[in-house]
Amino acid sequence: MSVNELLAQLAPIGLTEGGGYRRFSWTSVDTDLRRWFVDQAEARQLRVVKDRNANLWAYNGDPGLGEVIAVGSHLDSVTDGGAFDGPLGVASAFAALDLIDRQGLRPQRPIAVVAFTEEEGARFGVPCLGSRLLTGAIDPDRARALIDATGVSVERAMTEAGEDPTQLGADPSLLARLHTYVELHIEQGRGLIDLGRPVAIGSEIWPHGRWRLDFLGTADHAGTTRMQDRDDPMATFAATVLRVLDAARSDGTRATFGRVQVTPNSTNAIPSRVTAWLDARAATEQALESVVASVVSEVTITAESVTHRVEFDQDLRDRLAALLGGVPVLSTAAGHDAGVLSEAGVSTAMLFVRNPTGVSHSPREHATAEDCIVGAESLARVLTDLGGFQ
Ligand SMILES: [Zn+2]
């Protein structure tokens, strides 16, 4: 099947009236996405294994032999996200296997198509949760206790979805069998538009993280409390946002406040608390620290996740560049499971497919059918080489 046919099958799942996707972990939409994955695997006689962290692996060959070559991405989305971020990588992986199969080739090493769990962190706040658990980058107790916006924990959400949260945790034997991971992804910027090219190879992921900021004050009446008598955390919050965004602008880093909770969240009450989340990314660790340091000191700041700079395997990158005939090499400020696996010592690479809007995490995110095919064909060439298909 072509990558575009596979994407068309996924298109209705989790689509909202506004045209964006809400594909949150351990919901009925997630169940539908997982069923689609299993159906695709079974249609290709691949053996599906759900690991202890609910990541899905579809194996062609015996993973017990080791040196597994994995390709894939994730199926979950941000709130009102686009159709390509994640699913393009999984659909391209199945399509690449089909392209190779049509040539009558068989792999010399076990191949896996993978879909990682909760990559976006849209429901429980920590991105790349499935791969972080797999590599031991997050403590399973902390993961089980994460809560969504309605107060439901990972533990409860998994249990209600029929999963076993007691199994969560590092899986060194799976990791030891994994030789290489290649993740194809929609580009989340304008690099390929400017270069006029359909596909690029990833070089590195900028250091990035998420911080929770708690601004505390005193709730009081909006009418009877004089301005000079107020202890209003909204004022500190607003000043902080402007200062951090200014710091990011002058440093060439990225800072975003995309999520805020106000207590009691009432029009006629001074808030007692404002909780906001800062997403910050920078080309260097030092620049990242400096943008976070621009938050004022009277605020409680908690790092929820911090990911160091990741440079993808140089030899693998060179091998892909030679295979694909000098495609451009781009860095990215977006986090990916490939970055988490790279930090855990897995040889990883990424392929980016042009996004003609340059917009991601939005319904405006796009890839043309032609570029999706170029992406899947590129992945097939990479997989043929790495998997020793003959
Ligand atoms: Zn993604």
Q: What is the 3-state secondary structure (H, E, C) of 84-146?
A: CCCHHHHHHHHHHHHHHHHCCCCCCCCEEEEEECCCCCCCCCCCCHHHHHHHCCCCHHHHHHC
3-state secondary structure of 171: coil
Q: How far is the CA of 120 from the centre of ligand 1 (A)?
A: 7
CA angle 320, 129, 241 (to 5 degrees): 100
Contact indicator for 389, 109 with CB cutoff of 8 Å: no
Query: Structure tokens of 159?
Result: 């249990």
What is each CA distance from 345 to 65, 177, 310, 313, in whole angstroms?
A: 19, 12, 11, 9
Q: How far is the CA of 186 from the centre of ligand 1 (A)?
A: 8
pTM: 0.89
Q: How far is the CA of 29 from the centre of ligand 1 (A)?
A: 17
Q: How far is the CA of 362 from the centre of ligand 1 (A)?
A: 12
Residue type, 174: L
Residue type, 6: L
Q: How far is the CA of 13 from the centre of ligand 1 (A)?
A: 17
Closest-CA residue to 52 (of 142, 202, 175, 194): 175
Q: How far is the CA of 334 from the centre of ligand 1 (A)?
A: 8
Closest-CA residue to 214 (of 236, 229, 239, 244): 236
Query: Structure tokens of 95?
Result: 């399509």
CA separation for the pair 77, 81 (Å, rounded): 6
Per DSSP, 326 falls in state: S
Q: How far is the CA of 64 from the centre of ligand 1 (A)?
A: 28
Neighbours of 125 (CB within 10 A): 18
CA separation for the pair 199, 261 (Å, rounded): 39
Q: How far is the CA of 73 from the centre of ligand 1 (A)?
A: 7
The partner residues of 351 in beta bridges, in order of sequence, read 184, 201
Q: How far is the CA of 79 from the centre of ligand 1 (A)?
A: 13
Buried-exposed string 340-358: b where 16+ CB fall within 10 A, e elsewhere: bbbbbebbbbbbbbbbeeb
Q: How far is the CA of 7 from the centre of ligand 1 (A)?
A: 15
Q: How far is the CA of 325 from the centre of ligand 1 (A)?
A: 25
Closest-CA residue to 40 (of 87, 109, 85): 87
Q: How far is the CA of 203 from the centre of ligand 1 (A)?
A: 16
Kindly give the confidence (pLDDT) of every residue in the chain, 390 residues in length, as a single tens digit, with 9 standing for 90 and above: 999 999 999 999 999 999 999 999 999 999 999 999 999 999 999 999 999 999 999 999 999 999 999 999 999 999 999 999 999 999 999 999 999 999 999 999 999 999 999 999 999 999 999 999 999 999 999 999 999 999 999 999 999 999 999 999 999 999 999 999 999 999 999 999 999 999 999 999 999 999 999 999 999 999 999 999 999 999 999 999 999 999 999 989 999 999 999 999 999 999 999 999 999 999 999 999 999 999 877 799 999 988 889 999 999 999 999 999 989 999 998 999 999 999 999 999 999 999 999 999 999 999 999 999 999 999 999 999 999 999
Contact indicator for 86, 128 with CB cutoff of 8 Å: no
Q: How far is the CA of 336 from the centre of ligand 1 (A)?
A: 6
